[in-house]
Amino acid sequence: MSRWLKIILILSVILNVLFIVGTFWARSYITSRDFELAALYAEAEARFARLVLTELEYDEPARIEALKLRLKRDIEQAEKVAGLWRAAAEK
C-alpha cells in the first residue's frame, strides 16, 4: 500500500471516530436540554397553581373574576402556541 493510501485511511478512521463521538455528545446534550426544559415547565405550572390557590383563598369576587379572565387568556394563548408547535412538527 502506498504511503498516501495509509494516510487517507488513518484520516478516515480518525474522522469517523470524531463523528461518532460528536453524535453521541450532541444526543446527550439535546436530551439534557429537553429534561431542563421539562423541569422549567413543571416549575412554571407549580407557580401558576400556587397563584391560583392564593387568589381563590381571598374569596373576593373581583379577584376571582380577574383570575377567570387571566385563565381564559392563558388558555387561548397556550392553544395558539400548541398549534404553532404542531405545525412546526409537521414540516
**pTM more than 0.85:** no
Q: Give the chain's length.
A: 91
pLDDT above 80: residue 76:
yes
Q: Which three cell numbers stand for residue 51?
A: 397563584
Q: For residue 27, give its domain range.
A: 1-41
Asked if residue 91 belongs to a domain, the reply is no
CA distance 14 to 12: 5
Asked if residue 74 belongs to a domain, the reply is no
Asked if residue 56 belongs to a domain, the reply is no
Asked if residue 21 belongs to a domain, the reply is yes
pLDDT level of residue 89 (50, 70, 90 thresholds): confident
CA distance 51 to 67: 9
Asked if residue 7 belongs to a domain, the reply is yes
Asked if residue 46 belongs to a domain, the reply is no
pLDDT above 80: residue 91:
no
Which tens digit of pLDDT belongs to each residue from 11-65?
A: 999 999 999 999 999 999 998 988 888 898 889 889 988 888 888 888 888 888 8
Q: How many domains does the chain have?
A: 1
What DSSP string describes 14-57?
HHHHHHHHHHHHHHHHHHHHHHHHHHHHHHHHHHHHHHHHHHHH
Quick one: pLDDT at residue 12? 96
